[in-house]
């Protein structure tokens, strides 16, 4: 279904994020027929380019980063017809008049701030000064949204001077993943799971986001954040909220976000003994973390594992184990809900003890598994085995489903539709910082340093101990 005609201005249109994610995502939506003929995409950045030069950049970005095989409703050339460019200085006056002259009244206006957060304020101010933003305009902002509570509050306050909360779309691309939305469909669209979704039946929950890459070219940026700020405060926190929240009364933006906020507010402080931080070491041909970030005294973590408790009626007594890191053994992200064992086994001790595990895979192969216990086939008596009831979305959705839409496709179209459900509200972001700040401050005042781990492993030994101590083990990263 096509969305209403729109003008989407991408500030930072020549940048890495625009080229890798935003523009290819828009191309795919164009291919699937979602963009009306009048809709336009206007790149706005500091480089002095002509429209044709920018179109060339867009064509190259599509050639390099678009994974979709074919385009049903047009060609790259037809898409490029929709593209315009203005050389704009976020901090000066250059280009603003030209940009404002390009805007066509009466259609949806969205401004994507794909630039450093220090430019959010100047951009918002100039959009208003030049009369480009009206009560229905939307702005999209990227992470990082602050580096602590104070800076996040300041950013929220700056944006609030010019835009209402209902106009601000804070992207966390994890929320745009098909499986993450399916998590809500599975929880609240079935009778099967919700009655068991509590500490009486769930032993514990594991959330893992494992990467095989190191810090790459982002060393300097990464070292100022570390895994806690770069991954836990936003992405893992969002996953935790969706898995732990109470059923919202409706699938509407504020109903969902109110429930997520309650989860964050119910999080206990985390004792130092319940956190393990790591930095990857060197291997043959590859340098260690400190070399990669060019800081011999680097104290940020490229790995973190923690045990988190949610103090509310539903979850008291069920720990959540979170883990994320770079240079681990496989690129794999999943949420696993590990149910308790049956209270009694009628099959005797030799049948072993078994339990159901619901796994929500974010990558690779987005999908879900439910491990159930069945009888081992054959004449060997009543021996039990655990087998997965597997639902890989590509299979479940048929040929069209082979291309699971990229998170950015979904999220950008939601901006145009005016649906904020999958975007973070300002108070959520602040609550998440309010929880992470004391943890980070604790490391700084105590002078804690991350422990080293072997690249290609599952992380530091201490992380294994963290969960073994509770008589549990991590799921294998594969
Ligand atoms: P980048 O450095 O590649 O691009 C920056 C863009 O901003 C360029 O188009 C540049 O022309 C423009 N710009 C810089 N100063 C400007 C000014 N004064 N006026 C107008 N335009 C100006 O950055 P990026 O990697 O594309 O990241 C953009 C934002 O998205 C950052 O906030 C970053 O933290 C965030 N982000 C990036 C990624 C990623 O994968 N690259 C992922 C998540 C979030």
Mean pLDDT of the 394-418 span? 78
Amino acid 399: pLDDT? 52
CA of 305 to the centre of ligand 1 (A): 30
Instruction: Decide: 143 in ligand 1 pocket, CB within 6 A.
Output: yes
CA of 18 to the centre of ligand 1 (A): 8
Amino acid 402: pLDDT? 53
Q: Is 88 within 8 Å of 102 (Cβ atoms)?
A: no
Mean pLDDT of the 253-277 span? 97
Place 453 in a pLDDT band, splitting at 50, 70 and 90: very high
Place 471 in a pLDDT band, splitting at 50, 70 and 90: very high
Place 401 in a pLDDT band, splitting at 50, 70 and 90: very low
Amino acid 354: pLDDT? 87
Mean pLDDT of the 413-425 span? 97
Q: Express each pLDDT in 426-448 by its tens digit.
A: 999 999 999 999 999 999 999 99
CA of 11 to the centre of ligand 1 (A): 8
Amino acid 217: pLDDT? 85
78: left (phi over 0), alpha (psi -120 to 50) or beta: alpha
Query: Ligand 1, residues 94, 116, 123: which to mutate, most atoms within 8 A of Cβ?
Result: 116
What does the DSSP assignment read for 97-140? HHHHHH--TTSEEEEEE-S-GGGHHHHHHHHHHTT---TT-EEE
pLDDT beyond 50 at 290: yes
Tell me the percentage of the chain whose pLDDT exceeds 90.
82
Q: What is the mean pLDDT of the chain?
A: 94
Fold of 175-468: Dihydrodipicolinate Reductase; domain 2 (3.30.360)
What is the crossing angle of helices 426-446 and 149-162, to 10°? 150
Q: What does the domain layout of the chain look like in residue ranges? A: 6-142, 175-468
**40-54, 357-371, 379-393 — which one is most confidently predicted on average?**
40-54
User: Is 12 annotated for ligand binding?
Assistant: yes
Q: Express each pLDDT in 113-137 by its tens digit.
A: 999 999 999 999 999 999 999 889 9
User: Closest residue (by CA) to atom 1 of ligand 1?
Assistant: 15
Q: Is 92 within 8 Å of 40 (Cβ atoms)?
A: no
Tell me the percentage of the chain whose pLDDT exceeds 70.
97
User: Is 269 annotated for ligand binding?
Assistant: no
206/417 Cα distance (integer angstroms): 34
For tokens 């570390």, the residue is: 226
Q: Is 238 within 8 Å of 172 (Cβ atoms)?
A: yes
Amino acid 70: pLDDT? 75
ipTM: 0.98
372/355 Cα distance (integer angstroms): 7
Query: Ligand 1, residues 16, 49, 87, 98: which to mutate, most atoms within 8 A of Cβ?
Result: 16
Amino acid 145: pLDDT? 94
Lowest mean pLDDT among 112-126, 208-222, 255-269, 368-382: 368-382
118/129 Cα distance (integer angstroms): 18
Place 398 in a pLDDT band, splitting at 50, 70 and 90: low
Strands ordered across the beta sheet of 108-113:
83-87, 40-45, 6-11, 108-113, 138-141, 168-170
Place 397 in a pLDDT band, splitting at 50, 70 and 90: low
Q: Where in the sequence numbering do the catalytic residues fall?
A: 235
Place 48 in a pLDDT band, splitting at 50, 70 and 90: very high
361/357 Cα distance (integer angstroms): 12
Fold of 6-142: Rossmann fold (3.40.50)
Amino acid 393: pLDDT? 67
Instruction: Decide: 172 in ligand 1 pocket, CB within 6 A.
Output: no
Amino acid 403: pLDDT? 62
Measured in degrees and rounded to the nearest 5, phi and psi for residue 406 equal -70, 150
User: Is 219 annotated for ligand binding?
Assistant: no
pLDDT beyond 50 at 94: yes
249: CB partners within 8 A, 6+ apart = 255
User: Is 89 annotated for ligand binding?
Assistant: no
Q: Express each pLDDT in 174-189 by its tens digit.
A: 999 988 888 999 999 9
Q: Is 400 within 8 Å of 154 (Cβ atoms)?
A: no
């Amino acid at each position: 279904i096509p969305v209403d005609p729109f003008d989407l201005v991408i500030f930072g249109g020549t940048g890495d994020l625009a080229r890798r994610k935003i523009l290819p995502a828009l191309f795919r939506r164009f291919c699937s027929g979602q963009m009306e003929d009048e809709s336009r995409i206007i790149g706005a950045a500091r480089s002095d380019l002509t429209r044709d030069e920018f179109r060339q950049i867009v064509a190259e970005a599509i050639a390099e980063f678009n994974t979709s095989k074919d385009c049903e409703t047009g060609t790259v050339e037809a898409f490029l017809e929709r593209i315009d460019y203005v050389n704009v200085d976020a901090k000066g006056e250059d280009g603003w008049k030209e940009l404002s002259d390009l805007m066509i009244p009466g259609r949806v206006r969205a401004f994507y701030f794909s630039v450093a957060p220090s430019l959010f304020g100047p951009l918002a101010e100039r959009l208003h000064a030049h009369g480009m933003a009206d009560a229905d305009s939307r702005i999209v902002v990227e992470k990082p949204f602050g580096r602590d509570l104070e800076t996040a509050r300041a950013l929220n306050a700056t944006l609030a001077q010019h835009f209402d909360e209902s106009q601000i779309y804070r992207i966390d691309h994890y929320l745009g993943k098909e499986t993450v939305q399916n998590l809500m469909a599975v929880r609240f669209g079935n009778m099967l799971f919700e009655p068991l979704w509590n500490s009486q039946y769930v032993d514990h929950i594991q959330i893992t986001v494992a990467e095989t890459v190191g810090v790459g070219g982002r060393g300097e940026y990464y070292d100022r954040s570390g895994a806690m700020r770069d991954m836990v405060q936003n992405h893992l926190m969002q996953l935790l909220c969706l898995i732990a929240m109470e059923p919202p009364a409706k699938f509407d933006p504020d109903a969902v976000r109110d429930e997520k906020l309650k989860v964050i507010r119910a999080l206990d402080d985390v004792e130092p003994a319940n956190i393990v931080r790591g930095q990857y070491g060197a291997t043959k041909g590859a340098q260690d973390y400190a070399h990669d970030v060019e800081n011999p005294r680097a104290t940020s973590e490229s790995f973190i594992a923690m045990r988190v408790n949610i103090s509310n009626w539903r979850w008291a007594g069920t720990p959540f184990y979170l883990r994320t890191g770079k240079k681990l053994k496989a690129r794999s992200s999943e949420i696993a809900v590990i149910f308790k064992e049956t209270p009694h086994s009628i099959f005797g001790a030799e049948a072993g003890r078994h339990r159901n595990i619901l796994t929500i895979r974010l990558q690779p192969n987005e999908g879900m598994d439910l491990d159930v216990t069945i009888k081992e086939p054959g004449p060997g008596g009543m021996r039990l085995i655990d087998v997965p009831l597997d639902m890989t979305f590509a299979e479940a959705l048929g040929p069209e489903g082979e291309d699971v839409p990229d998170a950015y496709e979904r999220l950008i179209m939601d901006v145009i539709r005016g649906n904020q459900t999958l975007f973070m509200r300002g108070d959520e972001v602040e609550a998440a910082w309010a929880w992470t700040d004391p943890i980070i401050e604790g490391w700084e005042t105590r002078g804690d340093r991350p422990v080293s781990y072997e690249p290609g492993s599952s992380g530091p030994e201490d992380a294994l101990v963290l969960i073994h101590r509770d008589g549990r083990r991590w799921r294998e990263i594969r």
